[in-house]
Chains A and B, each alone.
Chain A
Amino acid sequence: MIPGVPPAMRVGVTGASLWDAGGGDSGRGSDEAPGSNGAGLSLIAAREPERPERFPPGTWRKMSRLARLVARAAEPLVHGPADALIVGVSGGEFASSVAFLRSYYLRGAALASPLAFQNSVHNAPAAHLSIDLGLTGWSETLLAGEATFWRTLERGMSRVLASGAPVIVVIAEELSPEVRDGMKAADVQGTWLEGAAAFRLEPLGTAVGLSWWDRPQRGAGAAEIRAAATEGDAAGAERGGAAIRVHGGPFREAARLFGLIAAGYGTLDSPPHLPQPAWLEVC
């Protein structure tokens, strides 16, 4: 906590769930590709998501990997039909989008795949959850690139405060072959983790509290940080200079929060390359 300064937001946490690589047994393997300047891109995959009983096998087979990751993490936290659902993903249903365009380009417009199109809708993971678990309340999908963990959590907490009702927040990342190839094509360097974490947030009064503090900007303002990050990423990569650097991705931060909640206490600071710096405390 920051002495004398109240948190900007505070909610309760009544559940958390994680689906990750499981101690290195990823089921899909990890790989490391050398970048243009010799540095690498380390991609760490999650285990194949197991089907929860509430999802029919036929439906499960048709769902994208991202949707299965979201469902696997969120399902244990769903208590009733009115639970709100907020899903955060940095890249959305990219693999399904490529699958649809593959059918369009290789088979022709007349034979483009309707199933791939359905799965390519970025809200499809949330839609599957609502249909198969009977959720009828508020539902949305948010995308914020590397800031996805922080923006989704901020959004989930704001929804709890505005509605006074439970919200299940899910942060998920997929590493399909298409995403891997896309990151390598962009000369992204660093580490990126696949997986899904879900948190059940409720109004205060629960055993574990989650507080959000806004940190003062570190020297530069949000706009300057955003612009500087852009310069460092896109322009640098175009010039063949500094490549795009990533720092684990949104799921890594979600997994860290899961660990804090499991322990019942701890703090998590937003990384310096993101605008609107913040600080979370679990206690």
Chain B
Amino acid sequence: MMAMRLQLSRWGALTSLGDTEAGFARLCEGASGLVPAMGAEIAWLSAAEGVERVGPVAPVRFAIEAPRGVGLADAALGGAIFDPEGLAVIVATTAGAMVEGEPVVGEYVRGEPLSTPRAFFWDARLHNVADALAEKLGATGPAFAVSTACTSGTVAVGIAADLLRAGRARRVLVVGSDALCRSTLFGFRSLGIYAPERCRPFDVARQGMNIGEAAAWVLVERLDAGAGPGAIELLGVGVATDAQHLTAPDPAGKGLGRAIRAALGPVDPHEVDHVNAHGTGTQPNDAAEATLLPGLLPNALVSATKGATGHTLGAAGVVELVLLIQCLRTGVVPPVVGLTQPIHGVAVSSVLRRHVQRVGVSTNLAFGGHNAAVAIRRLE
């Protein structure tokens, strides 16, 4: 039996570069939202614009008025309206509504009275973001969070596909959202992989990653029989683990290769025109992708956007999927911001390239040797 065909019918993003269209235009110009950070510990980061415009979201759900993790997602949605019947909401995040909880955790570990007791644990649980959005949208389908570190957004799209094919939802809103917080900024710094400069994906002299904050969303639905040219078909999502190391990828990218093949399904890898790679700017991640991609997807140009947006962690999969959709629709491959001397053999460039694209792949690697890939096709 042929699997139900699916499409990404609507999408949006809010990053440090701006909203969906303005942000993509700035990306194509080679702009970066990464800015020098205050303080000596963290050198560069990127904050999403526009969140301050947002009013309270689900004000009775949280002890504080508007957690940034929720406000960021709400701002990215920008007032979009969806048919709520059978609408499932999946939020991909690593920190959720934790940002405001961190100072309260500080009070707890110092033995001080808690200024906002519910923010210590109860309100900080990740599913609250999904429930708050589902409540606001009137969604009648399931709502939950998925957290697989930096692959969360791509995994969430795969879950959406399964829920639709199993008849558990009529449409699924997948939201990736992660706000800047101490846990992630100083956590990655503790691992020694936070770059002292603006990150440089796929550059031979790369020194690590920078964190950015962002939110993005896609609506996943059944592909209508009458879907016309320009529609974006979701070909598939693949997830695979290296089963080797907690914080380092397989050097040859074997798990990622399995994920990409699973995402493509019956589509020939030679048909892939563009890969929006994970490209964190860390030595092992970029090396693994650089080893894998030229052989597996020989006809694909490669882009990487974290030099412009920063690594948006749980949101990255959805942010980068939205950027890939825009690339397929406009026929451009954005420059890799920060690139000066590419790793040999990888089809990256520091300048914008015009390239007709029909099939695109976006990849993510994560903590735990977790790999995920999503493949899409622009209908002609």
Binding site for B on A (CB under 8 A): 8-9, 81, 90-92, 94, 97-98, 100-102, 104-106, 109-110, 112-114, 117-118, 120-124, 126-128, 130-131, 133-145, 147-148, 151, 154-155, 157-159, 161-163, 178-179, 181-183, 185-188, 221-223, 226-227, 230-231, 234-235, 237-238, 244, 275-276
Q: Inside 8 A of B114's CB, which chain A residues have their CB?
A: 185
Contact present for B147 and A120 (CB under 8 Å): no
For residue B374, CB closer than 8 A to chain A, the reply is no
| Minimal Cβ-Cβ distance residue in A for B134 | A226
Does more than half of chain A's interface fall in helix, strand or loop, or is it mixed? helix
Contact present for B135 and A124 (CB under 8 Å): no
Contact present for B368 and A143 (CB under 8 Å): no
Most chain B Cβ neighbours within 10 Å, of A118, A127, A157, A185: A127
Q: Inside 8 A of A8's CB, which chain B residues have their CB?
A: 167-168
Contact present for B369 and A127 (CB under 8 Å): yes
For B139-155 the 0/1 string (1 means CB < 8 A from A) is 11111111111000001
For residue B82, CB closer than 8 A to chain A, the reply is no
For residue B120, CB closer than 8 A to chain A, the reply is yes
Contact present for B146 and A141 (CB under 8 Å): yes
Contact present for A151 and B142 (CB under 8 Å): yes
Q: How far is the CA of A163 from the CA of B163 in the complex (A)?
A: 12
Question: Chain A's nearest CB lies how many Å from the CB of B3?
Answer: 8
Give residues 357-379 of B contacting A (CB, 8 Å): 366-370
Binding site for A on B (CB under 8 A): 3, 41, 58, 60-63, 84, 94, 98, 102, 105-106, 108-110, 114, 117-118, 120-128, 130-131, 134-135, 138-149, 155, 158-159, 161-163, 165-168, 182-183, 186-192, 239-247, 255, 258, 366-370
Contact present for B166 and A157 (CB under 8 Å): yes
Across the A-B interface, how many residue pairs have beta carbons closer than 8 Å? 247
| Minimal Cβ-Cβ distance residue in A for B239 | A138
Contact partner, A186, options B109, B122, B167, Cβ 8 Å: B122
Contact partner, A144, options B63, B127, B139, B191, Cβ 8 Å: B127
| Minimal Cβ-Cβ distance residue in B for A244 | B122
Contact present for A98 and B105 (CB under 8 Å): yes
Contact present for B140 and A183 (CB under 8 Å): no
Q: Inside 8 A of B186's CB, which chain A residues have their CB?
A: 104, 109, 112, 117
Contact present for B108 and A98 (CB under 8 Å): yes
Question: Chain B's nearest CB lies how many Å from the CB of A87?
Answer: 10
Contact present for A221 and B140 (CB under 8 Å): yes
Return the 10 tightest CB-CB contacts between A and B, nearest first. Answer: A182-B121, A127-B368, A117-B187, A186-B122, A158-B166, A144-B144, A185-B117, A122-B147, A162-B162, A235-B60
Contact present for B148 and A141 (CB under 8 Å): yes
Contact present for A142 and B146 (CB under 8 Å): yes
Q: Inside 8 A of B135's CB, which chain A residues have their CB?
A: 223, 226-227, 230
Q: Inside 8 A of B166's CB, which chain A residues have their CB?
A: 9, 157-158, 161-162
Contact present for B183 and A144 (CB under 8 Å): no
| Minimal Cβ-Cβ distance residue in B for A131 | B243
Q: How far is the CA of A101 from the CA of B110 in the complex (A)?
A: 11
Q: Inside 8 A of B41's CB, which chain A residues have their CB?
A: 109-110
Contact present for A121 and B162 (CB under 8 Å): no
Contact present for A234 and B63 (CB under 8 Å): yes
- Known contacts A123-B147, A139-B241, A161-B165; is-contact A237 B183 (Cβ 8 Å): no
Show 11 A/B contacts (Cβ-Cβ < 8 Å), sorted by A: A91-B121, A94-B124, A122-B148, A131-B245, A143-B126, A143-B146, A144-B143, A157-B166, A161-B166, A186-B120, A223-B138
Question: Chain B's nearest CB lies how many Å from the CB of A199?
Answer: 17
Contact partner, B246, options A101, A112, A118, Cβ 8 Å: A118
Q: How far is the CA of A39 from the CA of B227 in the complex (A)?
A: 57
Contact partner, A230, options B61, B147, B242, Cβ 8 Å: B61
Most chain B Cβ neighbours within 10 Å, of A101, A161, A227: A101
Q: Inside 8 A of A136's CB, which chain B residues have their CB?
A: 240-243, 255, 258
Contact partner, A98, options B94, B109, B110, B128, Cβ 8 Å: B109
| Minimal Cβ-Cβ distance residue in B for A157 | B166
Question: Chain B's nearest CB lies how many Å from the CB of A106?
Answer: 6
Contact partner, A159, options B162, B240, B370, Cβ 8 Å: B162
Known contacts A92-B147, A113-B190, A122-B126; 4 additional CB pairs below 8 A are A101-B182, A139-B370, A154-B168, A186-B121
Most chain A Cβ neighbours within 10 Å, of B121, B124, B165, B191: B121
Q: Inside 8 A of A101's CB, which chain B residues have their CB?
A: 102, 105-106, 109, 182-183
- Known contacts A110-B41, A121-B149, A230-B60; is-contact A127 B370 (Cβ 8 Å): yes
Q: Inside 8 A of B182's CB, which chain A residues have their CB?
A: 101, 104
- Known contacts A121-B149, A136-B241, A238-B63; is-contact A142 B117 (Cβ 8 Å): no
Q: How far is the CA of A213 from the CA of B138 in the complex (A)?
A: 22
Q: How far is the CA of A186 from the CA of B125 in the complex (A)?
A: 12
Contact present for A158 and B246 (CB under 8 Å): no
Contact present for A140 and B62 (CB under 8 Å): no
Contact present for B243 and A105 (CB under 8 Å): no
Contact partner, A123, options B125, B240, B367, Cβ 8 Å: B367
Contact present for B134 and A158 (CB under 8 Å): no
